[in-house]
Amino acid sequence: MTRFLHTSDWQLGMTRHFLLPEAQARFTQDRIDAIRKIGELAGARSIEFVVVAGDVFESNQVAPQTVLRALEALATIPTPVFLLPANHDPLDSASVYRSRTFVDKKPENVHVIESSEPLAVPGVDGVEVLGVPWHSKRQLTDTVARETALLEPRPAGTVCVMLAHGGIDTLSPDPEAPDLIDLASAEAAIRDGRIHYLALGDRHSTTDLGETGAIWYSGTHVATSFRDENPGNILAVEIANDHSVSVEVLPVDETAAWRFVDQKFDLTGLDDVEAVNTFLHEQPDKVRTIVRVALAGQLSISAAARLDEIIEEFGDHFASLRKWERRMDLAILPDQMDADELGLAGYARETWDELAASATGSGEEGRTATQSLALLYRLARNPEADASGAERTSS
């Protein structure tokens, strides 16, 4: 029986422009701390080795501090760890794996896959790791098909785990692209014993492929975007003596998982606006939650001002909270009740009426007038309101 962990797409050093500075620091550190969690899982499950199927680092230009912290975390894993260079961190002349920091500080348990020659797993008899490293940011062929075509069925008593990184033909919108991995070809290599498990990276969602049960994307160990469907996992793989494969999907760390939340609201009045307040209030672990709200419908100035207050109030609670501008279809229309409620008179009422007339127009002039009305409403209702905050919620 062979036991190992399959993970990929750590992309250490990744930045997200929409995160608050302190949230970005936490996001960066959590991605490294998750490596230690992987080490704890390895120790608890009598794991023999760990494979990382590409994109260990966000790029070859990550800060030395990120490399040092990553290596310190990798050193806590109690087994050999095999790292596959891929499109984010290819094994080119500027490779992070050839940097002085990496070379000088690399712990003994870490092995970088630099060629497609099989590597014996230290301390584990009869098990080899065969990887397909990237030497540039683009591939021009199906590297899995290319390398498996050169293999013979492995000798009795030998287990071969292959690592590769890239898209698969059955999931691609362009299945004719030359660099895609051909699933049928990969399954054929498993069925005839040339390889026994194909550990894939590139897709950030945990995915079981084909019919053999031996071809998987592990997905990223910490969620990275709204597109990730099933992130935050690692795969515990067992290959029996007869080469049958079983895979268990394990959350890396449920207590510190990052969440990307899309939510659409159809708004027609204050009751709907308060539903936004309730939704945001009920979100768990806000410091590791990134929320993007799509807003549609029609609101009065007073209801829109309340909506801005809610979003501004919760803005500092979440790692990120923002309006999804490309999905916005919300009309803000002044009504008589807005003006009457404020009791405006004189110049202030004249300004309101002029802005209200402009707000009915289209284009930039209408949007600017609407934003100005919302700000005027807030200032008139509360003279101490933070004008900069009002501008921030409308940007």
Q: Do 337 and 249 belong together in one domain?
A: no
Question: Which range marks the domain in which residue 336 is found?
Answer: 259-394
Rama region for 7: left / alpha / beta (φ>0; ψ in -120 to 50; rest)? beta
Taking residues 337-349, what's their average pLDDT? Answer: 70
Sign of torsion, CA 289 45 84 109? positive
Q: Do 244 and 301 belong together in one domain?
A: no
| Proportion of the chain above pLDDT 90, given as a percent | 70
Q: Do 106 and 225 belong together in one domain?
A: yes
pLDDT in tens, 14-68: 998 889 889 999 999 999 999 999 999 999 999 999 999 999 999 999 999 999 9
Q: Do 278 and 131 belong together in one domain?
A: no
Confidence of residue 218 (pLDDT cuts 50, 70, 90): very high
Is the pLDDT confidence value at 291 over 80? yes
Can you give the chain as a three-state secondary structure string? CEEEEEEECCCECCCCCCCCHHHHHHHHHHHHHHHHHHHHHHHHCCCCEEEECCCCECCCCCCHHHHHHHHHHHCCCCCCEEECCCCCCCCCCCCHHHCHHHHHHCCCCEEECCCCCCEECCCCCCEEEEECCCCCCCCCCCHHHHHHCCCCCCCCCCEEEEEEECCEHHHCCCCCCCCCECHHHHHHHHHCCCCCEEEEECCCCCEECCCCCCEEECCECCCCCCCCCCCCEEEEEEECCCCCEEEEEEECCHHHCCEEEEEEEEECCHHHHHHHHHHHHHCCCHHHEEEEEEEEEEECHHHHHHHHHHHHHHHCCCCEEEECHHHCEEEECCCHHHHHHHCCCHHHHHHHHHHHHHHCCCHHHHHHHHHHHHHHHHHHHCCCCCHHHHHHHHC
- Distances, alpha carbon 342 to alpha carbons 295, 300, 373, 393, in Å: 26, 13, 12, 21
Q: Which of 234, 256, 278 is the last residue of a domain?
A: 256
Number of domains in the chain: 2
Taking residues 115-119, what's their average pLDDT? Answer: 95
Weakest-pLDDT range from 16-25, 106-115, 193-202, 267-276: 16-25
Q: Do 289 and 347 belong together in one domain?
A: yes
Weakest-pLDDT range from 101-105, 218-222, 320-324, 368-372: 368-372
pLDDT of residue 386: 52
pLDDT of residue 96: 97
pLDDT of residue 180: 95
Q: Do 71 and 211 belong together in one domain?
A: yes
Confidence of residue 371 (pLDDT cuts 50, 70, 90): confident
Q: Do 327 and 249 belong together in one domain?
A: no
Q: Which of 221, 238, 256 is the last residue of a domain?
A: 256
Q: Do 224 and 333 belong together in one domain?
A: no
pLDDT of residue 381: 67
Q: Do 247 and 269 belong together in one domain?
A: no
**Could you give the CA distance from residue 381 to residue 103 in angstroms, rounded to a whole number?**
62
- Residue 240 sits in a domain whose CATH number is 3.60.21.10
pLDDT of residue 166: 96
Q: Which of 210, 226, 256 is the last residue of a domain?
A: 256
And the tokens for 181?
């991995």
Question: To the nearest whole number, what is the mean pLDDT of the chain?
Answer: 89
Residue listed under structure tokens 């806000």: 286
Q: Do 378 and 233 belong together in one domain?
A: no
Weakest-pLDDT range from 84-88, 317-321, 322-326: 322-326
Q: Do 201 and 335 belong together in one domain?
A: no
Confidence of residue 390 (pLDDT cuts 50, 70, 90): very low
Weakest-pLDDT range from 25-34, 277-286, 361-370: 361-370
Is the pLDDT confidence value at 392 over 50? no
Is the pLDDT confidence value at 145 over 90? yes
Q: Do 264 and 250 belong together in one domain?
A: no
Confidence of residue 393 (pLDDT cuts 50, 70, 90): very low
